[in-house]
Amino acid sequence: MTLEGKRVLITGGGTGAGADLARGFAAVGADVVISGRREAPLRAVAEPLGARFVIADVTQEGDVARTFAKAGPCDIVIANAGAAESAPLGRVTLDQWNAMLAVNLTGVFLTFRAGLAQLPGWGRLIAIASTAGLKGYGYVAPYAAAKHGTVGLVRSLALEVARGPVTVNAICPGFLDTEMTDRSVATIVAKTGKSAEEARAALAATNPQKRLIQPVEVTATALWLCGPGSEGVNGQAIAIAGGEL
């Protein structure tokens, strides 16, 4: 497939799945723009690809507006920026709750709202959610609540745009082999005394295939949603989880 002549904006594009998405879309000819809060990782991803980057925080309305102004009209908008924290609900502070909703849900809302307003016609809006948006996991209630909200946002917006050449979908991977999972492993080690290998195996065990999902699997799904033959896929939450769901 080719996406030559199409521009894609990927939030959280400096690391993990976002960085792989940037590489995957650049490989098929798309004009890639990535955004994030830290210049160094954004630059490290963008420069080898000939892509552009914008330093921005998706939880800030003004930053999101500035991102699209700098990027120019985008045909494909991928709301990938996210963060995760773990704690028993009884220990979650209001600030922690608000922070999880801000980046994982409000950030998607702001990105989609601005992205939809500037679509030149044909368009794809894709949220990188999580299996936590389709089921519950202990000790990550704020994160799971935000991801459930993202799936609801996707399903509702998909109905609003269904009469035009725009689709809205969520990709819901299980535990990814990325820096975010590395941080989860470190948290498990610190709180339980397990080794890093035991902690990683415990996360992989949630997948019936007994492995972590690779970022390239998310990228392949996103590319499929932007290619021919995907026009009828709208309002879906596509799990990449080895049969967990």
Whole-angstrom distance, CA of residue 180 vs CA of residue 151: 20
Helices (H) and strands (E) counted in the chain, each on its own, are 9, 7
Select from 65, 74, 112, 111 the least CA-distant residue to 226. 74
DSSP code, position 213: B
Q: Where are the domains of the chain?
A: 7-175+214-239
CATH number attached to the domain at 7-175+214-239: 3.40.50.720
The residues that are catalytic are: 143
pLDDT in tens, the chain (245 residues): 899 999 999 999 999 999 999 999 999 999 999 999 999 999 999 999 999 999 999 999 999 999 999 999 999 999 999 999 989 999 999 999 999 999 999 999 999 999 999 998 999 999 999 999 999 999 999 999 999 999 999 999 999 999 999 999 999 999 998 878 887 888 888 888 889 888 888 889 999 999 999 999 999 999 999 999 999 999 999 999 999 99
Residue with structure tokens 């390239």?
A: 216
**106 vs 55, 64, 153, 181, 218, CA distance in Å?**
18, 11, 10, 22, 22
**Is the entire prediction scored with pTM above 0.75?**
yes
Whole-angstrom distance, CA of residue 176 vs CA of residue 182: 9
Backbone CA torsion sign across 13, 197, 239, 148: negative
**86 vs 60, 183, 217, CA distance in Å?**
24, 10, 25
